[in-house]
Amino acid sequence: MQRDLYRQLCDWKASPRRKPLVLRGARQVGKTHLLKEFGRREYESLAYFNFEEDPRLKGFFTGRLEPTALVEALGLYRKATIRPGRDLIFFDEIQACNEALNALKYFQEDAGGHHIAAAGSLLGVKLSQSMSFPVGKVNFLDLRPMSFPEFLDAVGESRYRGLLDGKSDAEPFLEPFHEELTALLKHYFFVGGMPEAVRCFAETRDLSGVRAIQKEILDAYVLDFAKHAPTPDIPKLLQVWDSIPAQLARENRKFVFTALKKTARARDYENAIHWLEKAGLILRAFLATKPGQPLSAYADRGAFKVYALDIGLLGAMAGISPDILVRGHDLFQEFKGAFVENHVAQTLAGLPGARGLYYWKNDSATAEVDFLWQSPQGSILPLEAKSGINPKSKSLRIYEEKFHPARLMRTTPLNLRQDGKILNIPLYALTALDRLAS
């Protein structure tokens, strides 16, 4: 299946400032498949090394590391010479060999002619630890679950992707297109963006099979907790992970530690939440006290919301039945609209130039804007996420009176339209946010 990140990989290959590439992302978002496809299509040969499948590879990275000799030895091991610029060296599951991870800096310094990419299931966790390599010696890219436009490509609806990609004005979509895109979005809400689940749906339309795959992925994540997380944090990881649907079902979706257990304190769970975030399994949106530049400078790190990395996995965690797809807009309104918020968080996090997730509420807690979006041009605009077809915008109006933004934005199941100063963006068109809001 085609991934949008492929174009960035091609840009990396052609860049005169190319360094060893580290591709980050949660387990089973498609990192290995994407890099293998890239290597086979864009290079004469792919030199693939998997540190989990072949533990003997670690022996090449002991002692003094000299990149040219190391490449020669790896070529001898695979019985084929590795040629600079013509072959792609792909180190998979590199987090299993810390010495190989550290060695990437030497390739940048002493063997820049070789094209090297690395990936791993828990690289985010590994790189947050003290033994990671120096910053500035590698290029980073992040692969996330498939976006709705990528889903459209995968299920044979590229014509609708073309419609979304070409949209840059506030004219409503033709009603037949709006209805069809809304129906496709419902399927995306159920299937989500994990490539194996999307492939199953594209080939079979079997929703039970999709759900079985999602449960297998969730089981694999729990096994990762037991295998890779610090032992004292494992029970807390499970508590936080299992609580996500219930946390999102609350009217106020701010993460509440006492929902885990009555005596829970934030500092006791800080490491567990950090681990889940670095593993790519959760997204966090922080409360911003004002829409200042940069938003991170105005973030209250003690107040945040937690979203699942993938809306399909969220549905599997919550046990949502496939029959909800035929019940009008019920899917959008599940968990009091939390599915919609999770979709928005997931989409915003994957937009080019994304700089974290933030929301705002006033001091009296009478108004809350679900997201603050920082455009590539630098402006900060409020974005409300609504699940119903009769949305109200009290919080947007209060925000407008206080901060006077250039535009107010709302994303709902409704068609695209301009309502005074409020731009209503359909949930299915959210990846066009930058063009529509400019």
Q: What is the pLDDT of residue 327?
A: 66
The candidate with the shortest Cα–Cα distance to 332, out of 282, 289, 290, 389, is 389
For residue 42, the Cα-to-chain-centroid distance in whole angstroms is: 25
Q: Is 273 helix (H, G, I), strand (E, B) or coil?
A: helix
Segment among 70-79, 100-109, 155-164, 402-411 with least mean pLDDT = 100-109
- Does 214 score more than 70 pLDDT? yes
The residues spanned by each domain of the chain are 5-142, 148-437
Q: Is 338 helix (H, G, I), strand (E, B) or coil?
A: helix
Q: What is the mean pLDDT of the chain?
A: 92
Q: What is the pLDDT of residue 332?
A: 76
- How many helices, marked H, and strands, marked E, lie in the chain? 16, 14
| Mean pLDDT value of segment 335-349 | 90
Instruction: List strand residue ranges (DSSP E) for 16-129, in order.
Output: 21-24, 45-50, 87-92, 115-119
| Mean pLDDT value of segment 345-374 | 93
Give the side-chain half-sphere CA count within 13 A for 323: 0
Could you tell me the CA-to-CA distances from 262 to 257, 272, 377 in Å, in that order?
Answer: 8, 17, 44
The neighbour count for residue 316, using CB atoms within 10 Å, is 25
Q: What is the pLDDT of residue 63?
A: 77
Q: What is the pLDDT of residue 252?
A: 83
For residue 65, the Cα-to-chain-centroid distance in whole angstroms is: 34
Residue-wise pLDDT for 215-251, tens only, equals 999 999 999 999 889 999 999 999 999 999 999 988 8
Residue-wise pLDDT for 105-144, tens only, equals 888 777 768 999 999 988 888 887 755 565 678 999 999 9
Task: Give, rounded to a whole angstrom, the gap between the first and last alpha carbons of the chain.
Answer: 31
197 pLDDT band (50/70/90 cuts)? Answer: very high
**What does the alpha-carbon distance between residue 296 and residue 287 come to, in Å, rounded to a whole number?**
10
Q: What is the pLDDT of residue 328?
A: 61
Q: What is the pLDDT of residue 329?
A: 60
Q: What is the pLDDT of residue 132?
A: 56
| Mean pLDDT value of segment 133-157 | 92
Identify the CATH assignment for 5-142 out of 3.40.50.150, 3.40.50.300, 3.90.1310.10, 3.40.50.10710: 3.40.50.300
| Mean pLDDT value of segment 386-407 | 89
The token pair at 275 is 């681990």
Burial class (CB in 10 A: 0-12, 13-18, 19+), 373: buried
**Tokens 């591709």 identify what position?**
23
**What does the alpha-carbon distance between residue 84 and residue 401 come to, in Å, rounded to a whole number?**
59
Amino acid at 395: S
Segment among 47-56, 165-174, 309-318, 329-338 with least mean pLDDT = 329-338
Secondary structure element (H or E) that encloses residue 382, with its range: strand 380-385
Name, in order, each residue with C-beta under 8 angstroms of 236's C-beta and a sequence gap of 6 or more. 260, 268, 269, 271, 272
Q: Can you give the pTM of this predicted structure?
A: 0.94
Highest averaged pLDDT of the listed ranges 115-129, 166-180, 314-328, 389-403: 166-180
**Higher confidence at residue 228 or residue 29?**
29
DSSP-assigned letter for residue 147: P
Q: What is the pLDDT of residue 34?
A: 98
Q: What is the pLDDT of residue 1?
A: 86
Residue-wise pLDDT for 262-285, tens only, equals 888 899 999 999 999 999 999 999
Q: Is 373 helix (H, G, I), strand (E, B) or coil?
A: strand
Q: What is the pLDDT of residue 337?
A: 81
Q: What is the pLDDT of residue 413?
A: 93
Amino acid at 37: E
| Mean pLDDT value of segment 398-407 | 94
